[in-house]
Structures are given as C-alpha cells and as structure tokens.
Amino acid sequence: MEDSETIRFPRLGGPFLGKVLLMGAVTAMAAAGCAARPGVGIATMSAMVPASSALVLPAPGTSSIVSVVQRQYTNAVEQQVVLSTSATTSGQNFLGIQAFGPVETAAMPGGTLAYRPVRHSAILSEIRTYFPGRTLAISTNFVRNGYGPFGYAYGRGAGNDGCLYGWQQIRSDEADRNRLDSLGMIQIRLRVCEAGASEKDLVELMYGYTIVGGFAGATWNPYGKPAPVDQEIGGGAPLRVPLDDGKAAKEEPGQRVARTRAVPEKKPVPRTETTGTGGAVIVPSPSGDDATATAADTVVVPSPVCVTGASGAATCN
C-alpha cells in the first residue's frame, strides 16, 4: 500500500518537527509569563490612603482623622482609621473596620482574611494588645447603636486619662442569609484614650460613628432585611397643644377694641369747713377725728382777702 501524503507528513517531519514544536511551546510560555507580570508592588499588604477613602468616620465634633492605613485581601478590606488624641497613655487611638466581600484585584494582596467571631477570650486578648499594663473592665450593660448591639470595656489610663475599647459585629440574621443574599459582614473596633474623659463620654463615641463604605448589591448586604415601618407613623388623630401665637388683637372695620388703661389712684382730699365768722378755714387735726378735736388742736388759717392794718386790726372783704 502506497504511503499517502497524510501518512508521509509525520515521517518526514520526524525529529525536526518535534524540535520546532518544543521551541514554539517555550516561546509561548515565556510570552505568557511576561504578560502575567502585575508590575512593581510594595512588599507589604498595608498602604496609606487619603482620609476621604475612610470606610468609617468618628462621631461628629470628636476626634479628627490623622491618617488611614488600608490592608487589602482577596476576600476583604481592612482599615485602621487613626484618630487624634489628647491623652498621655501610650498607644494610638483608632477606629478599625473589616469589610468582607469581593474586592478589586491588587498587585500584591495580603492573602485571605480569616473570619474571627466575637468571643470573650478574643476580646481580652485584643485589650491586652492595645492597652498593655492597663486594666479595663468589660461592661455588663446591654447597649445598642444604630447598627445593632455592641460591647465595650472601660478603665483608667495614665494620669487622669479615661480609656475605652469597643467592638461590634454587623451581620444579617442567619435566617436572612443564603447563597445569593446578605452574605456581607463588618467588624468594628474602637480604641481610644482621652484626658479627663468619663465612661459616659467615651461610650458616646460608639453611638456616634458612621459607616460610609461597603460593597454594593444585595448579595453583600451585612445589615439584613430592613425593619418594617412603625404603624403609628403617619396615623392616629391629630395632636395639638395650646400655644401662644403672639399676635395682637386686630380691629375690624366699624368696631373698636376696648383697651384697658391704668388710672392712677386718687388720694382722698381732706374735708374743710368754713366758720360763720371771719371766713376762717378750719383744717382738721392730723389725728383725723373732727369730733374729738379740741380748741388747742384747731388751726385757724386767715382768708387770703383779709388785710391787717397798722393798728393790728384785720379787715376782710
């Protein structure tokens, strides 16, 4: 049987064809390796980002943001928002946040961030790390902010410093989670020491912080289903309270509004009597009783029209 062209092609190619194919494979691998290079990267998973990129903000009117350190993983983004401080206690104030979800491709990601649930032993370990040599007591109070329940520990620092460590896990209820919905999760940590701050002052920082970043889409929603609207909102009978409108009375055409005018009180005028002779005016005694007045108490005032002559006699018109 004669060799066809198809059968003779491999025989003619033999070792030469094998070398050609091997060189082509090496060249393709080299080209693929060059194309896969991510470029120059910093040999660390931490980087400084602007304050405007912070995922969580402190309570308004409190500490200011000094810097933001971000660590990017293949499954999460972690930030430490460094805050200003007035304390003498060693250590840095910060708001920490871990947001789990799909992240952008990084040149040198820090691997996978492990999920650590909130446990008593883990919190005690974190307190010892951030407050070395200090004693903070974990509060047994049940407290809750706009994101849900949280916990905290309070103690004294150096001098008159007050110190607090707060923690919170924001995650939807297990009944709301499935493969396509509410899979996100956020961890919050607050480490703060302030001069002269009380427990009440520092707990307010846990009530007042705001989460401004996260992952879009219902799949990575860490808050779960929104609560139903209160039925009392927008319903019920009108509720009014008596208020002073502060307006003056208005006069209608053809009418007068009666106005009350204060009249000064008039004092009584002493009663005077005129005698039958001489036209003298008798002024009553300061004792005020005419019936008991005696002759010694009576004062005779001459009439203004009487004129005394040179001989001492009075002439009255």
65 and 164 both lie in a single domain: yes
- Res. 108: pLDDT tops 60: no
- Show which of 189, 205, 220 is a domain's final residue: 220
Q: Is residue 264 in some structural domain?
A: no
**Residue 55 or residue 18, greater confidence:** 55
| CB-based burial, 220-234: b 16+ in 10 Å, e otherwise | bbbbbeeeeeeeeee
User: Which two structure tokens, joined as six digits, stand for 207?
Assistant: 């009530």
75 and 202 both lie in a single domain: yes
For residues 70-99, give the mean pLDDT: 92
**Residue 198 or residue 282, greater confidence:** 198
Per-residue CA distances from 209 to 95, 170, 203, 205, 241 (Å): 9, 13, 11, 6, 36
215 and 309 both lie in a single domain: no
- Res. 259: pLDDT tops 70: no
Indicate the residue type of 77: V
Q: Is residue 3 in some structural domain?
A: no
Q: What local confidence, expressed as pLDDT, does residue 124 receive?
A: 94
Q: Range of 95's domain?
A: 46-220
163 and 308 both lie in a single domain: no
For residues 212 and 57, the answer to whether their CB atoms sit within 8 Å is: yes
Q: What local confidence, expressed as pLDDT, does residue 11 receive?
A: 46
List the alpha helices (DSSP H) in 172-315: 199-208
Q: Which backbone phi and psi does 83 adopt, to 5 degrees?
A: -110, 155
202 and 96 both lie in a single domain: yes
- Res. 242: pLDDT tops 50: yes
For residues 56 and 95, the answer to whether their CB atoms sit within 8 Å is: yes
Give the DSSP H or E segment for 19: helix 5-35
211 and 68 both lie in a single domain: yes
150 and 83 both lie in a single domain: yes
pLDDT digit string, tens, across residues 157-197: 999 999 999 999 987 676 666 666 656 789 999 999 999 99
Which residue has tokens 């691998």? 29
The torsion of the CA quartet 23, 28, 31, 33, rounded to 10 degrees, works out to -110
Instruction: Count the domains in the chain.
Output: 2
- Res. 102: pLDDT tops 80: no
210 and 277 both lie in a single domain: no
Q: Is residue 231 in some structural domain?
A: no
User: pTM score > 0.75 for this model?
Assistant: no
User: Which two structure tokens, joined as six digits, stand for 236?
Assistant: 């019920």
Q: Is residue 41 in some structural domain?
A: no
- Res. 301: pLDDT tops 80: no
Q: Is residue 281 in some structural domain?
A: yes
311 and 189 both lie in a single domain: no
User: Residue 243: pLDDT band by 50, 70, 90 thresholds?
Assistant: confident
